[in-house]
Structure formats: C-alpha cells, structure tokens
A and B are shown apart, each in its own frame.
Chain A
Amino acid sequence: MKVLVAMSGGVDSSVAAALMKDEGHDVIGVTLKLWSGPRGEAPTAGCCTVSDAEDARRVAAELRIDYYVLDHTDDFKDGVVDHFVRDYASGRTPNPCIECNRIVKFDRLLKRLDDFDCDVLVTGHHARTRNHNDVWELLRGADEAKDQSYVLSMLTQAELSRTRLPVGELTKREVRQIAAGLGMRSAHKPESMDICFVGDGHYLEFLEDVAPEVFEPGPLVDTDGKEMGSHAGIVGFTVGQRRGLGIAVGEPRFVVRIEPESSTVVLGSRDDLMVSGVDLSAVTWTDGVAVQGEVMAQYRAHGDPVRARIDATTLIFHEPQAAIAPGQTVAFYEDDKVLGGALIAATSL
C-alpha cells in the first residue's frame, strides 16, 4: 500500500510511520501546519509546535521516507478555532482536539489521499481498526490507560475504511521501546496536554485576545433565580466549575447551567449538577446503522463508560451523572467496540 502518515513529531505518530515502513509499505510523512497565531507566531505548546515539526522531519529522514509540511491553517481557523470561540460564546464547552480530528485530519486530509496517490491515512492514535465481514470496526486501543477511541468516535465507514492505526495494537510502553530502539529523540518526550493555539496561557486570555466581543457581563444566580453576583462573561464558565466563581457562600457552589441568551450563569449545589440524560446532536454511527436502546456511554476523554439508553436523539442514563457540559463529545460503546459518537447539545434534569 501507499500510505500517508500524519506525523506530529511525537512518539506515537513517529512509531506509526516506522511500523508502516517496516511492513513494507510505501510511506509519505506529513505534518500539518495548522496555526500561526493571531499575529503569525508559531505555537509553542500542544501537539503542533515548530520544534515538533522539526522532530517529525528528523524522524522521517531517519526512516528515509518523503516528508512534507501541509498548510491547513485556513481549515483549522474556520473549522476549529472559530468553532471554539463560538461554542464558548454560546455557553458550551468545546473540545477543539476532537474537532481537529473531525474536520482537519479525518476530513480535509483524508480527502487529499488521492492528491498523494495514497491508499490510506495513518495516524498515531491509540485505538484499533478491524475489518469484520466487510465492515470496518473501531475498537479501544490495546493500552487501556492510553485509549483514544473516544476522540475518534465520530468516524464512520467512509473514514475508517481509509484509515490505519498501527500503534493502537501496542501499549504505550511498547511504543516507547520501539522508539528508543530506533534512536528516536521523541522516545522520552512528555505528552502534550495543552491546546495548541491557546499555548501556555489560559483559554480566557486567548479569547480576550482574538474575540473580546464575546465577553458580555451578566448575573450569577442561584437555582431559584436569585441574583448572587455578576460576572464578566459566560465564556469564563464551564458546567461543574467550582473555582473562580467570585462569590463567597458557606456551602460549595458549582456552575450548574449557562443561559447564553441572558448571559446568566446558574449556580447550585452538588446535587443540582446531577442530570438524568442529554440531548444529542451530530450523531454518527460507526457502521452507518443507528443504534437504539442499551449502550455504554463515555462522556469524558478519560472517564469510565456508564450504562445508558438511546431513545431517538436522547441519551438517558441509568444513574444520574454529575457535571456534564454541553459541547462535549459522548462516545457509545459495546464492550471494546465503538458504536458511534455525538455532541452533547443540552442536558436534562
């Protein structure tokens, strides 16, 4: 096969490229240039810094594969960053890394496979794909602690059939061992946790910088509607947040709801955080067939899946769940197999 490997410079995608090369495939490595900051500066944190691109280039040279940097800054700005700003302005809590997978890597880049005359796209995600009776399945990665199937839960047959995830078959330890054996500089690199375009700072500083207009002051109210204070903008709040509320009361208070129309942030007790279900949007099914009824649902990247039931576009939990933020992704599982994914549009009490 001729394969296109999305290389970030990190250990996982570097090893993915090495494994494909080892298997005898014709490998092209690419790094996506996604962001250069409002004033053209390169990111210094996250998964796509200039030094990461240099690392990717070095790895590609060591592996003797062709390597290019592809400019997808427009796609990233339109699809990920603007969406991030819009989501916060609407009282949601976006996950830009998932949007980057959805829109940039597994849509725009995947669509360019033909440009490179390549058969499949390879990434360094810790998840597995499997062809079962002509249906491509997405499964949790072999390393439970590193599993990233959640962030790929929006992939369907169109994408999975043209995607390979070789490191998903390995544990992180094995990946690092392979990298060290190949003398890769990235073998011991710490994992990136920051949002690349936000960098080292807080996301609010980023929003103040690029979209000061989204800061609209409003009231902090309790669940009965009684005003308890004021805030500089709903963008500063996430459902479940306890710190930085700017009010002092005896018992712990949490953000339980954000009402964007009136710029209102609703505070409540721990009990008020509990929701019985969520409304879903952008629902996708891995094999294209909608599932109704019992599933295991995971609504945080590293959260445990919980028992739930799908009824049309509503997800109803068996046990009430705490602090679910609209804008986040929920992935549906049957054992290790991803059934599909969705965005949380709203929560219901």
Chain B
Amino acid sequence: MIYLDHAATTPMRPEVWDVMAPFASSVFGNSSGIHQVSRQAKNALEESRERIAALIGAKPAEIVFTSGGTESDNMALKGAAWNPTHRSGVVTVATEHEAVLETADLLGRFDDPVTIVGVDHEGFVDPEALVDAVDGDTAVVSVMLINNETGLVQDVAAIARQIKEAEPEVYVHTDAVQGFASEDIDVGGLNVDMMTISGHKFGGPKGAGLLFVREGTVLEPILHGGGQELGRRSGTHDVAAAVGLARAMELAVDDRDRFRTEVGQIRDDFEKRVMSGIDDAVLNTPADQGSSHHLNVRIPGVRNETLLMRLDQAGVAASAGSACQSGAATVSHVLEAMGLTPNQARESVRFSFGWTSTLDEVVEAADLVVDLVGKLR
C-alpha cells in the first residue's frame, strides 16, 4: 500500500510504542494513587508534561492532557465561553475543523454570540475581518494554523497580535493539529493563549493530545469529576498516552528539518507529476502558502468518490479531506467556503504526506493517478 493520507493519521513511530508498553503492563498504577506503582505512573506523567512544555516553550502547568484534537478544541471554546467570570462569545473561521465549528454551533444554539468569518478564494481569512468581528462580548477567537484539507498555512502569530491589540481580554486559540510535524511551534512566538495538539498526526498514539492553556487563562472544565489536571480535566490519566505523546513530540521536533525538506520535496514532486499529467487539474492549495505535506487538487470531470475508490483498489490510500462516520465522501465545507461549487468540491482530492513517505512511492502513485484519471474520463 502507498499511504498518502497522513493528514488523517500517520503511522506510529516504533520508539513511541516501546516507551508506552510498560504502562500497559507492569506500571499500571492510577497516577492519582498513593502507593508505589501509582507514584511510578505519576512520575512518568509529570516528567512527560515537563518535556512537552520545554518543546513548545510553555510551563509544565500550562499543559493539559486530553484525548486528542477534538477534545482540546471543545475544551478551548466551551471552557472560555462557559467560564462564568469571562465573556461568552466565539469568533472563528468558516474553514476550521468540525471540532471547532460544531462546538461553536452548539454554543450558538445556547445563545452565546457566535460569529463565523469567511475566507477568500485561497482560504485566507482577513485579519481585519476577524478584528471587526471581535467585540466586548467575545471570549475566544479560534484560528487554525494549517488547514487540514488544503494545507493552507495562516499567519496565526500576526492574527493573534492584531486581535490582542484590539481586545486584550480576548483569548486566542489555535488548532495546530496539522502543524506540529513541520512548523517550529513555540507558544510565545505564536502569541496564543490556547493551542491544540494531537499525537497521532506525527507518529504518536491516537487518543493522546493536549491543550496548551496559558497561565492566567481561566476555563470552565468540560469534564467534571475527580479533579485531575489541576481540576481542568477530570478522569484517570492515560499515562501510556501521555508518555507516548511526549516521545512522539521529541522525535517530531528532532525530525522537523528533514521533514520540511524531504517530505516537502516529495510533495512538490508529486504535485508536479500530477499537474503536468493532467492538463486541466486545478490546485486548491495555494502555490506558495501551503504546508510541506498537504496537496488538495481538483480534477474536473472526475468524481472524487470514484477516483479514491479506484486508487484504493490499486493500493493507494488518499481521501477527500474529511469523511463522515459512514465513510461516504461528503462535500467539503472548507472548499465551499473558498467559493467552490458543490460539484467542484466533489472533484477535489487530498493527498497528504508524512514521515514515512518516500520519493519512489509517490512517483508510482502520481503515475497511477494520471493513468486512472485518463481511464475515468
């Protein structure tokens, strides 16, 4: 199989599994307990937190372990909107992940003021439009770092600075799930109050993520109970997940330069072959503002559902961006927000590359895409 769906998930690095395994067997303790096996677990958890904090320029207490990107996004928006001492409004962007948009939708249904700001045809949000949407009711602004469908990179640091200048009380959140493998992520440089990270996008375990919560940012918890994570996220810790997340983050940071260069080159080569092989193919990913590892391309006259299945039959895994629970391809809200018609969105396919991608395999895959498109037309 040639795997070109790394933005959905990417294989776990073997070193990660190695460090996780003891916490599924001998070191099974509940990190909140008082005895030795629990202390071992607790030590591993807190040591992981410290290493993670150091990697992103945060303090250990600013790391809240979660079950992944969806929970972290929910926590950021609901936590800010529901904090009784804070404002309750949400401002976000039409191309955000469903974890943000659906949460905003829920808050809107419970009468919190919610504003969804549109994007231009390349997917960029106008920072001025975001600033205009923010007012004295706004609790949190959420803008993602790299779009999961198109790979567009937004200048979150500049956006956050402008918002903070206009409304210092507002919390700024970024969903950085797609960016950790390739971007130098430092929460100081990004100017954000909250940031979502998900382990399985860069070689860590699924079900492991975190929300960075800057000191002084007060969130109402969304999971209540035993008061773990300084009361911010109740529930028995998944120590194996935290340990695995920390190890995967270290490995990703160590591999970042290579990733940007090599995976970027592999991506560019794939793009070149597909674009030269299919005359009328159109890039949905902006040419010079895309990430090193996403490619979203529209192939007129070929339904993405069909192309993806034919690719699967031929041993190539790709996707249409987001898939619903049943597995059917749905019309992308990201591409629609960029002004594509539903039919154009249905002609769009996402190829995404990762730490295991090789030039040989993507050359083979690109030739196959060109060949299949010829057959399907």
Among A42, A50, A57, A116, the residue within 8 A (CB) of B309 is A116
The answer to whether A115 touches B313, judged by C-beta atoms less than 8 angstroms apart, is no
The answer to whether B326 touches A33, judged by C-beta atoms less than 8 angstroms apart, is yes
The answer to whether A112 touches B306, judged by C-beta atoms less than 8 angstroms apart, is yes
Among A50, A57, A70, A117, the residue within 8 A (CB) of B310 is A117
- B376 at the A interface (CB under 8 A): yes
The answer to whether B330 touches A68, judged by C-beta atoms less than 8 angstroms apart, is no
Within the assembled complex, what's the spacing in Å between the Cα atoms of A342 and B85? 69
- A69 at the B interface (CB under 8 A): yes
**Contacts A112-B306, A115-B376 given; does A66 touch B312 at CB 8 Å:** yes
Within the assembled complex, what's the spacing in Å between the Cα atoms of A28 and B314? 13
**Contacts A112-B306, A116-B309, A117-B310 given; does A50 touch B328 at CB 8 Å:** no
Q: A residues within 8 A CB of B329?
A: 71
Q: B residues within 8 A CB of A53?
A: 326
- B327 at the A interface (CB under 8 A): yes
- B155 at the A interface (CB under 8 A): no
Within the assembled complex, what's the spacing in Å between the Cα atoms of A70 and B310? 13
- Encoded as 1 (CB less than 8 Å from any B CB) or 0, chain A from 48 to 75 comes to 0010010001000000001011110000
The answer to whether A71 touches B312, judged by C-beta atoms less than 8 angstroms apart, is no
Residue of A nearest to B308 (CB): A68
Among A71, A112, A115, A116, the residue within 8 A (CB) of B328 is A71
Among A28, A68, A116, the residue within 8 A (CB) of B327 is A68
Among A33, A50, A66, A112, the residue within 8 A (CB) of B313 is A66
Residue of B nearest to A50 (CB): B326
The answer to whether A70 touches B313, judged by C-beta atoms less than 8 angstroms apart, is no
Q: Size band of the B side of the interface?
A: 10 to 19
Within the assembled complex, what's the spacing in Å between the Cα atoms of A68 and B329? 10
The answer to whether B326 touches A69, judged by C-beta atoms less than 8 angstroms apart, is yes
Kindly name the residue among A50, A66, A117 whose own CB sees the greatest number of chain B CB atoms within 10 A.
Answer: A117
CB distance from A208 to the nearest CB of B (A): 24
- B305 at the A interface (CB under 8 A): yes
CB distance from A234 to the nearest CB of B (A): 35
Q: A residues within 8 A CB of B327?
A: 57, 68-69
**Contacts A66-B312, A66-B313 given; does A115 touch B326 at CB 8 Å:** no
Residue of B nearest to A33 (CB): B328
CB distance from A48 to the nearest CB of B (A): 10
CB distance from A165 to the nearest CB of B (A): 24
Q: Enumerate B290-308 residues with CB–CB distance to A below 8 Å.
A: 303, 305-306
- Encoded as 1 (CB less than 8 Å from any B CB) or 0, chain A from 106 to 130 comes to 0000001001110000000000000
Q: B residues within 8 A CB of A50?
A: 325-326
Within the assembled complex, what's the spacing in Å between the Cα atoms of A113 and B8? 28
Q: A residues within 8 A CB of B303?
A: 115
Q: A residues within 8 A CB of B325?
A: 50
Number of interface residues of A (CB under 8 A): 16
The answer to whether A115 touches B312, judged by C-beta atoms less than 8 angstroms apart, is no
**Contacts A70-B305, A112-B306 given; does A117 touch B326 at CB 8 Å:** no
Within the assembled complex, what's the spacing in Å between the Cα atoms of A57 and B326? 10
**Contacts A33-B328, A71-B329, A71-B330 given; does A117 touch B306 at CB 8 Å:** no
Among B310, B326, B330, the residue within 8 A (CB) of A116 is B310
Q: B residues within 8 A CB of A31?
A: 326
CB distance from A76 to the nearest CB of B (A): 12
Residue of A nearest to B342 (CB): A74
Residue of A nearest to B331 (CB): A71
Residue of A nearest to B323 (CB): A69
The answer to whether B309 touches A68, judged by C-beta atoms less than 8 angstroms apart, is yes
CB distance from A66 to the nearest CB of B (A): 7
**Contacts A115-B376, A117-B313 given; does A69 touch B328 at CB 8 Å:** yes
Q: B residues within 8 A CB of A33?
A: 326, 328
Within the assembled complex, what's the spacing in Å between the Cα atoms of A28 and B330? 21
- Encoded as 1 (CB less than 8 Å from any A CB) or 0, chain B from 311 to 329 comes to 0110000000000011111
The answer to whether B330 touches A115, judged by C-beta atoms less than 8 angstroms apart, is no
The answer to whether B376 touches A70, judged by C-beta atoms less than 8 angstroms apart, is no
Within the assembled complex, what's the spacing in Å between the Cα atoms of A66 and B376? 19
CB distance from B166 to the nearest CB of A (A): 36
Q: A residues within 8 A CB of B376?
A: 115
Q: B residues within 8 A CB of A28?
A: 313
CB distance from A16 to the nearest CB of B (A): 20
Q: A residues within 8 A CB of B330?
A: 71
Kindly name the residue among B325, B327, B330 whose own CB sees the greatest number of chain A CB atoms within 10 A.
Answer: B327
Q: Enumerate B101-139 residues with CB–CB distance to A below 8 Å.
A: none
**Contacts A50-B326, A115-B376 given; does A71 touch B305 at CB 8 Å:** yes
Within the assembled complex, what's the spacing in Å between the Cα atoms of A112 and B312? 16
Within the assembled complex, what's the spacing in Å between the Cα atoms of A69 and B328? 5
Residue of B nearest to A115 (CB): B306
Q: A residues within 8 A CB of B310?
A: 115-117
CB distance from A239 to the nearest CB of B (A): 38
- Encoded as 1 (CB less than 8 Å from any A CB) or 0, chain B from 181 to 207 comes to 000000000000000000000000000
Within the assembled complex, what's the spacing in Å between the Cα atoms of A70 and B330? 10
Q: A residues within 8 A CB of B328?
A: 33, 69-71
Within the assembled complex, what's the spacing in Å between the Cα atoms of A69 and B327? 6
Q: B residues within 8 A CB of A66?
A: 312-313
Q: B residues within 8 A CB of A68?
A: 305, 309, 312, 327
Residue of A nearest to B312 (CB): A66
Within the assembled complex, what's the spacing in Å between the Cα atoms of A28 and B313? 9
Within the assembled complex, what's the spacing in Å between the Cα atoms of A57 and B325? 12
- Encoded as 1 (CB less than 8 Å from any B CB) or 0, chain A from 161 to 177 comes to 00000000000000000
CB distance from A6 to the nearest CB of B (A): 14
Within the assembled complex, what's the spacing in Å between the Cα atoms of A70 and B326? 9
Within the assembled complex, what's the spacing in Å between the Cα atoms of A33 and B327? 10
CB distance from B87 to the nearest CB of A (A): 30
CB distance from B327 to the nearest CB of A (A): 4
CB distance from B315 to the nearest CB of A (A): 11
Residue of A nearest to B325 (CB): A50
User: Would you give 5 A-B contacts (Cβ < 8 Å), ordered by A?
Assistant: A28-B313, A31-B326, A69-B328, A116-B306, A117-B313
- Other A-B pairs, 19, CB within 8 Å; known A31-B326, A68-B305: A33-B326, A50-B326, A53-B326, A57-B327, A66-B312, A66-B313, A68-B309, A68-B312, A68-B327, A69-B326, A69-B328, A70-B305, A70-B328, A71-B305, A112-B306, A115-B306, A115-B310, A116-B306, A117-B313
**Which residues of B does A touch, CB under 8 Å?**
303, 305-306, 309-310, 312-313, 325-330, 376
Sort A-B residue pairs by CB-CB distance and give the 9 closest, nearest first.
Answer: A69-B328, A71-B328, A115-B306, A33-B328, A69-B327, A69-B326, A68-B309, A53-B326, A33-B326
